[in-house]
Amino acid sequence: MEKNIKSELWDIAWCIQDIADGGWRKEHPPLPVEKVIYSEHSVTASDNGEEVSSRNSAHDISEGTVSVDIITSDILECKKCRLASGRIQAVPGIAIKGLPVLVVGEAPGADEDRMGEPFVGKAGKYLDKWLAAIGLERKKDVNILNVVKCRPPNNRDPLPDEIEACIPYLKAQISLLKPVVILTLGRFATSVLTGSEEGITKIRGKIYKYDGIPLVPTFHPSAVLRNQTLKRPVWEDLKLLKMILNKQLKG
């Protein structure tokens, strides 16, 4: 419907131009393919509905015409940073339009690098249990992406220039997928999308927003596998996610 309206307006504009040029109907260029523009995203945090902080993300990205498939293809062929030389394959992630929940992690690990899928190792199986506990399932309700699309050596944190090279892909994916709610896993992914420099222990328990989308931070599954005392706060975060999801879907 929206596209048809834009096409009609485009035709009207050219009719007006034709009249101004003497009334002759001419051949006109087609409606320009709409560009998806990604500007700085406002990020705010709230605790019990009260705003506690506000800042902008670090990047201002403007991309041309894109689709989920184009982004996936670009990621698979990407050689913009040093990580490309050491990967088996890039991991674009699970990006299916129409799914309400988006999970964002840090970067692929060894299993992900080998299989080309996000969260397929022990942490991934544990994540699937988390999602199942609140009635969700990957590829059915949940997309899964990473901030960085290639495995850093020895699973180290991605470096700033690697993030800078990769972040346009993530922002474009989020913009196109339009999730209802985002779950960030661990300090790194949470910091990138919220701009907060605090540790995950302090930042979790609050509802943030990324480009107007509610965002819930929690611990990374790998951290919980190492420290089972984190299970309780993760459960609280998952319940918060489900509450937001139900509220948003009910409108």
- Sign of the torsion angle spanned by Cα atoms 93, 170, 63, 77: negative
Using the structure block, give the residue that is written with the tokens 């199986």. 125
Instruction: Please state whether beta strands 101-105 and 142-146 pair in parallel, antiparallel, or not at all (unpaired).
Output: parallel
CB count, 10 Å around CB of 12?
A: 10
pTM of the model: 0.76
Domains of the chain from N-terminus onward:
1-32 (no CATH), 34-250 (3.40.470.10)
Q: What angle do CA 215, 136, 125 make, to 5 degrees?
A: 95
Structure confidence at residue 25 (pLDDT): 56
Q: Is the dihedral of CA 210, 173, 195, 38 positive or negative?
A: negative
> What is the reported pLDDT for 94?
98
Please tell me the distance from the alpha carbon of residue 29 to that of residue 101, in angstroms, as a whole number: 39
Question: What pLDDT is recorded for position 249?
Answer: 87
* pLDDT at residue 36, rounded to an integer: 34
Distances (CA, A) of 70 to 76, 106, 172, 190: 10, 22, 10, 26
* Cβ atoms 218, 130 nearer than 8 A: no
Q: Per residue of the chain (251 residues), give pLDDT as tens.
A: 444 454 555 566 666 666 666 666 555 554 443 333 333 333 444 444 333 333 333 233 344 467 899 999 999 999 999 999 999 999 999 999 999 999 999 999 999 999 999 999 999 999 999 999 999 999 999 999 999 999 999 989 999 999 999 999 999 999 999 999 999 999 999 999 999 999 999 999 999 999 999 999 999 999 999 999 999 999 999 999 999 999 988 86
Predicted pLDDT at 14: 61
pLDDT at residue 52, rounded to an integer: 35
Calpha distance 108→147 (Å, rounded) = 9
CA proximity to 247, closest of 140, 121, 100, 106: 100
